């Protein structure tokens, strides 16, 4: 990413902190809120004469995507913190819970993060089969019943929440997010990965572009911390998953390179 002089594309640290989402209940400085005390998960109401087994399997398979009706989660005493949210960007591969397959996302969505390098929802207490958000759980959690997913399917792709829905108008990082989106587009990665694996004349160009994307993504995240004062745990909200994770989903891996900083190469153990 090209360095800029003067004010640069990043606003000053004080400016970003002054726009730190207080209108939605977030504390300035982006300090994570404590997770509310866990309470018993899954109610005992019946749906279609069947009852929930309280196994917690739905929570282990991933935190829910968020919808506009979930904006209330980000207000109040125990507001969900942005460090607990990951952005999945348009074009990146993601598992479609309704269709049961991995496919490129048609649009951006926000999702509660997984815990401990796992997709298990960050608010799920596995030891107690308990949910830290149960009384105010997201809309998808309220709709989901594993023995009848009709209600979830009906609302699954409707009114999904995006980053701009949670950031005040004129927030200092909006322009930076747009520049990152243009320079590190997830929709390009799969085709470039295929060209790199195929070899030949186009492989060198694909490697060059992928390397540029990886370096740009790294530079954006470093600048967000160094110049805007936003800690690394918030980067997956502002910029989505990092290049390493996006590349891995298409069978690529990143290796350190003394000359270029990073080298992109096919993962020899990857299988479609």
- Residue found by looking up tokens 């993060």 in the block: 113
Reading the block at residue 51, the tokens are 């009852």
pLDDT in tens, the chain (272 residues): 433 333 344 444 444 433 333 323 333 333 333 333 333 333 434 444 567 777 888 898 888 999 999 999 999 888 999 999 999 999 999 888 778 788 899 999 999 999 877 789 999 988 888 898 988 999 999 998 888 888 988 998 899 999 999 999 988 899 999 999 999 999 999 999 999 999 988 999 999 999 999 999 999 999 999 999 999 999 999 999 999 999 999 999 999 988 888 999 999 888 76
Closest CA to 203 of 260, 265, 251: 265
Q: How many Å apart are CA 200 and CA 110, to the nearest integer?
A: 38
Q: How many Å apart are CA 253 and CA 235, to the nearest integer?
A: 20
218 to 38, 118, 208: CA distances (angstroms): 35, 22, 16
Reading the block at residue 193, the tokens are 């990965």
Reading the block at residue 34, the tokens are 């404590």
User: Cα 229 from chain centroid?
Assistant: 20
CB of 92 within 8 A of CB of 246?
Answer: yes
Q: Is the four-CA dihedral 199, 200, 202, 203 of positive or negative sign?
A: positive
Q: What global pTM score does this model have? A: 0.80
**Which element (helix H / strand E) includes 256?**
strand 252-257
pLDDT at 49: 52
């Amino acid at each position: 990413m090209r360095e800029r002089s003067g004010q640069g594309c990043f606003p000053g640290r004080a400016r970003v902190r002054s726009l730190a989402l207080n209108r939605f209940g977030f504390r300035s400085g982006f300090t994570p809120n404590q997770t509310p005390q866990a309470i018993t998960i899954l109610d005992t109401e019946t749906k279609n004469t069947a009852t929930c087994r309280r196994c917690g399997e739905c929570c282990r398979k991933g935190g829910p995507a968020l919808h506009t009706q979930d904006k209330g989660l980000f207000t109040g005493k125990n507001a969900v913190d942005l460090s607990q949210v990951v952005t999945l960007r348009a074009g990146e591969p993601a598992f479609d819970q309704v269709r049961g397959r991995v496919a490129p996302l048609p649009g951006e969505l926000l999702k509660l993060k997984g815990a401990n390098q796992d997709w298990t929802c960050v608010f799920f207490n596995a030891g107690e089969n308990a949910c830290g958000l149960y009384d105010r759980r997201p809309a998808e959690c309220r709709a989901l019943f594993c023995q009848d997913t009709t209600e979830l399917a009906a609302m699954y792709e409707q009114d999904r929440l995006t980053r701009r829905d949670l950031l005040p108008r004129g927030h200092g990082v909006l322009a930076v997010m747009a520049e990152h989106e243009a320079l590190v587009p997830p929709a390009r990665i799969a085709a470039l990965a295929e060209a790199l694996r195929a070899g030949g004349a186009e492989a060198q160009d694909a490697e060059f572009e992928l390397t540029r994307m990886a370096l740009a993504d790294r530079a954006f995240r470093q600048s967000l911390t160094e110049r805007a004062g936003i800690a690394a745990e918030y980067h997956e909200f502002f910029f989505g998953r990092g290049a390493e994770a996006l590349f891995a989903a298409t069978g690529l891996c990143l290796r350190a390179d003394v000359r270029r900083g990073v080298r992109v190469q096919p993962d020899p153990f990857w299988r479609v």
